[in-house]
Structure 1
Amino acid sequence: MLRDLFINLTILVTFHYLFILVFKENFLKKEDTLLRQICKGMLSGLLGVLLMFFSIKTGPAIIDLRHIPLILTAFYGGIAQTMIAAFVVIIGRLLIEANIASSINIFSMMFIAAASFLIAERHMNHVVKMLLSITIGNVVATSLFILIVHETSFQLHSTYWIFSYIAGLFNFYVIEHQTKAYQLLNLYKFQAHYDFLTGVLNKRKFDEVLSDAFTKKLKQPYHQMSLIYLDIDYFKTINDQYGHHEGDIVLKEIGTRLIKNTRSSDYIGRIGGEEFAVFLPNCTIEKTWQIAERLRKKIADQPIYLKNGLSIHTTVSIGCAYSHGTGADIKQLPIIADQELYKAKESGRNQVSFSERKKDHLT
């Protein structure tokens, strides 16, 4: 018996670890795509079926830890995944052997699944909820075992309960630990690449994107590209008048508007305190001008609402640089964009400066 229960425990830990490797932090997402919900529910159910192959058989009944995957699915997968898992376990039990015990198993599995889901939805400590769900599963399993095969051995039932608690709590720990590790890893990756305030690329990552693009263009010099530098006008005055906290609101809103009004293929970065940059791969002169003007208007025309209830209008100065497909001038893009930005500021701010526009007579 101890050997079989230990095998059950080993299988549970191994498979939940593999599940997390496949789904990563998505293992904890209850509101997932339909396909993923079906996959996670079926995998949990198949895990329960696998545990039955290493069960303890006594007469028409078998005893194992198949209820643990159901409980964990109820905690992390929601009602749909839990019902799918329970259905798979029921089918598996009927295929192993169809008898009175397997028929009763239908009701016991559905009861454990429903009870575990209801407990999981309660606002209680997670460990307490897990202990309560495992206890219900143990009571159901022990009661059926006594009723069907009249097995009243205290040693058998106490050993089963101990292994059940160990399996449930240990797998709960593995899932919590591994998924939180993936979440922290993703957070660190985000912080390494993105500006925490605005959600756009930070300067280091943006420079890396430019460097990679320049390298590719030198190898394939037929791709055109543009670079936009954008600076918030009189941002220091906003900070001085309303405070740095409200200034952060302005920066965040500017970042949001840049994301909404550029192409999905464009790269946006915050390269200074109030300075942003937009890299436009495969972008014509005409399209560069259109995007730059759209950004200027979207920022100037719509007010920004501060935390203190006030709303302010702010503007930006924009400098644009464009590179043809020759590859010879690509490393001059940041210098030219910065020069054009300076011209926009010197010319009165709230405008776009683009030397290529004058050459091509864009309107």
Structure 2
Amino acid sequence: MLRDLFINLTILVTFHYLFMLVFKENFLKKEDTLLRQLCKGILSGLLGVLLMFFSIKAGPAIIDLRHIPLILTAFYGGIAQTIIAAVVVIIGRLLIEANIASFINIFSMMIIATASFLIAERHMNHVVKMLLSITIGNVIATSLFIMIVHETSFELHFTYWMFSYIAVLFNFYVIEHQTKAYQLLNLYKFQAHYDFLTGVLNKRKFDEVLNDAFSMKFKHPTHQMSLIYLDIDYFKSINDQYGHHEGDMVLKEIGKRLIKNTRSSDYIGRIGGEEFAVFLPNCTVEKTWQIAERLRRKIADQPVYLQNGMSIHITVSLGCAYYSGTSPDIKQLPIIADQELYKAKQSGRNQVSFSGRKRGQ
């Protein structure tokens, strides 16, 4: 008995660890795609069927930990996945052996699945909900086992309950631990590539994108490209007058407007305190000018609302550089964009400087 229950425990832990490797943090997504919900429900049900092959045989009944996958599915997967898993477990039990015990098992699996789902929806501590679900499952399983085979051995039932609690809590720990690990990994990946304040690429990642484009290792064929440098006008006075916290609100809003008013194929980065850059692959001279002007207008024409309830108008200066695909030194693009930005600021700010457009017309 101990050997079979230990095998059940080992299968459960191994399965859920592999499950997390495949689905990662999506394992916890109840509102998932239909195909993914179907896959997760079927796999959970097949786990229950697998556990039956390492069960304790006692007359017409078999005892194992097949109810634990149902409880975990109800807890993490929601109603659709729970129903799918329960159906698979029921079919598996009938295929193994169709007798009075297997038909009674159908009702027990339905009761356990329903009770576990209802408990999972309650606003309670997660561990308490898990323990309550496994207790109900154990009571049902033990009651049916006593009713069918008249087995009242305290040692048998105590061992079964002990393994059930260990199995559900250990699997709960594995799932929670792996989920948090993947969430942290995604957070670290985001922080490694994106500016935490504005949500655009950070300087290191933006430079990496440019270097890939310059070395022709860019993921899209790039025959022409443009680079826009953008600087918030008089940003220091905003910090001085309203405080750095409100200055951060301005930076966030600028980041949102840059994302909203550029193409999905463009790359936006924050490359300095109040300085941003936009890399436009496969962009003509005229399209570069249109995008730059649109950015200038969208920032200048709409006020930025601060947390103190005030609204202020922000303007930006922009410098553009264009590479046609025939220039001998593509790496001059940032230098030219910086020079054009300097011209825009020297010429009165709130404007776009783009000498390449004049040459291109």
3-state SS of paired residue (1:46): helix
Deviations 1:164-208 (A, max 9, x none): 001000011111111111111111111111100111110011111
Q: d(CA) in 2 for partners of 1:231 and 1:329?
A: 25
Task: Return the letter of the residue paired with 1:108.
Answer: S
Deviation at 1:282, TM superposition (A): 1.2
Task: Return the letter of the residue paired with 2:129.
Answer: K
Deviation at 1:62, TM superposition (A): 0.9
Which ranges in structure 2 are unaligned for 5 or more consecutive residues? none
Give 1:128's aligned residue.
128
Query: Pairwise mapping of residues 66-145 of structure 1 onto structure 2 (< 5 A)?
Result: 66-145=66-145
CA contact (8 A) 2:233 2:317 kept: yes
Give 2:303's aligned residue.
303
3-state SS of paired residue (2:322): strand
3-state SS of paired residue (1:216): coil
CA contact (8 A) 2:216 2:222 kept: no
Give 1:279's aligned residue.
279
Q: Identify the range of structure 1 (13-22 vs 91-100) with the bigger mean alpha-carbon deviation.
A: 91-100
From the superposition, tell whether residues 155 and 239 of structure 1 become closer, same or farther in structure 2 (CA, over 3 Å): same
Deviation at 1:217, TM superposition (A): 6.8
Deviation at 1:135, TM superposition (A): 0.6
From the superposition, tell whether residues 217 and 136 of structure 1 become closer, same or farther in structure 2 (CA, over 3 Å): closer
CA contact (8 A) 2:213 2:222 kept: no
Deviations 1:97-135 (A, max 9, x none): 111211121221111111111211222221111111111
Q: d(CA) in 2 for partners of 1:270 and 1:222?
A: 22
Query: Pairwise mapping of residues 25-64 of structure 1 onto structure 2 (< 5 A)?
Result: 25-64=25-64
CA RMSD of aligned residues (A): 1.5
Give 1:248's aligned residue.
248
Task: Return the letter of the residue paired with 1:198.
Answer: T
- The answer to whether residue 249 in structure 2 is matched with residue 259 in structure 1 is no
Give 2:233's aligned residue.
233
Runs of 4+ in structure 1 off by over 4 angstroms are none
Using the size of structure 2 for normalisation, the TM-score is 0.97
CA contact (8 A) 1:257 1:298 kept: yes
- The answer to whether residue 352 in structure 2 is matched with residue 343 in structure 1 is no
CA contact (8 A) 2:222 2:282 kept: no
3-state SS of paired residue (2:263): coil
CA contact (8 A) 2:193 2:202 kept: yes
- Aligned residue pairs, count: 360
From the superposition, tell whether residues 222 and 75 of structure 1 become closer, same or farther in structure 2 (CA, over 3 Å): closer
Give 2:164's aligned residue.
164
Deviations 1:69-121 (A, max 9, x none): 11111111111111111111111111111112111212211111111112112
3-state SS of paired residue (1:65): coil
Q: d(CA) in 1 for partners of 2:233 and 2:225?
A: 26
Deviations 1:305-339 (A, max 9, x none): 21112222211111100011125221001110011
Q: What fraction of aligned residue pairs are identical, expressed as a percent?
A: 89
From the superposition, tell whether residues 140 and 327 of structure 1 become closer, same or farther in structure 2 (CA, over 3 Å): farther
Q: Identify the range of structure 1 (147-156 vs 162-171) with the bigger mean alpha-carbon deviation.
A: 147-156
From the superposition, tell whether residues 50 and 300 of structure 1 become closer, same or farther in structure 2 (CA, over 3 Å): same
Give 2:201's aligned residue.
201
Deviations 1:252-296 (A, max 9, x none): 111111111111111110000111001111111111111111111
3-state SS of paired residue (1:349): coil
Using the size of structure 1 for normalisation, the TM-score is 0.96
Deviation at 1:222, TM superposition (A): 6.9
Q: d(CA) in 2 for partners of 1:99 and 1:309?
A: 72
Task: Return the letter of the residue paired with 1:189.
Answer: K
Query: Pairwise mapping of residues 282-293 of structure 1 onto structure 2 (< 5 A)?
Result: 282-293=282-293
Q: d(CA) in 2 for partners of 1:229 and 1:169?
A: 54
Q: d(CA) in 1 for partners of 2:47 and 2:158?
A: 24
CA contact (8 A) 1:320 1:336 kept: yes
CA contact (8 A) 1:138 1:161 kept: yes
CA contact (8 A) 1:221 1:326 kept: no
Deviation at 1:214, TM superposition (A): 0.5
From the superposition, tell whether residues 84 and 269 of structure 1 become closer, same or farther in structure 2 (CA, over 3 Å): same
